Amino acid sequence: MNDTDPLAYACDLAYKRLLHSSRPEYVYKNVLLSKMVFGKHSPATTSWLYEFRVGEARADAVLINGVATAYEIKTDLDDFSRAQSQLEAYYSCFDRVVFVVGNGQVEKALKILPDYVGVLRLSNRYQLSEVRESVSNTEDLSSEAMFHLFRKREREFLQNKYEVFTDHLPPIERYSAARDAISLLPPRDVHKIFVEALRGREPATKRAAISKRLPNSLRAAAFGYKMKNADWLLLASRLQEPAYNAL
């Protein structure tokens, strides 16, 4: 680097070093985000959620674009010891699941994962390619599991739609009463409302506007970290300053 190079260039250099290392999860997230939100789809029609907790599991990312797809990343340093429990959790709330793996994990993924689970490969040239397409699987959807993931306003909308009224009950009993009633509804019907609720939470356009001001190496950071817009704008401005100002 030269003294006059912007700090953003230092971020890009650090990212290149990551690409040539054992490639941690951040690299997978950054490439996945670039391909799915800014490549295959569009921020205008997509919502993107990071680190989405489902029961005892946590999906690395969830993409909502008409349908909702949960993504699980397995780097070449990861194992598949938790894959079964992760699939059970994800399919209780999502009908599509995709595992994103490195070259060294492809054969293991195809052998261990059910045929309806999608598999994406991150090549040594940092390109994502589809090894196996995900297929919709609604058999394991659970109305109760999805109910727990609704936020308060979303849950109220769901209850009003199906006339599940609990205001007459003591406050401590309302949640469990609503859960018991919703758990009896057809999971596919609840799933449609669940997907729409998720779609309204994190429209990709909000984060895309921020990421455009940042170097591509920080694209995933813009979607993964929660900061005020003013702080993002300040960071974007500082990244354009000569690196020596920050050293």
Does the residue 167 lie in any domain? no
Residue 50 has pLDDT above 80, yes or no: yes
Structurally, how many domains does the chain consist of?
Answer: 1
115, part of any domain = yes
Residue 181 in any domain: the answer is: no
In a domain, 100, yes or no: yes
What pTM does this model have? 0.91
**91 located within any domain:** yes
Give me the mean pLDDT over the 210-214 stretch: 89
Q: Which of 81, 57, 82 is nearest to 70 (CA)?
A: 57
Residue 188 lies in a domain: no
List Cα–Cα distances, 33 to 115, 158, 164, 188, in angstroms: 24, 30, 38, 27
Domain span including residue 113: 7-138+200-245
Share of the chain above pLDDT 70, in %: 99
Report the pLDDT averaged over residues 169-192: 96
Asked whether residue 247 carries a pLDDT value surpassing 70, the answer given is no
For residue 41, the model assigns a pLDDT of 85
Asked, for residue 211, whether it belongs to a domain, the answer is yes
**pLDDT tens digits along 125-168:** 888 999 999 999 999 999 999 999 999 999 999 999 999 999 99
Distances (CA, A) of 167 to 73, 157, 171, 175, 176: 42, 14, 8, 10, 12
Asked, for residue 107, whether it belongs to a domain, the answer is: yes
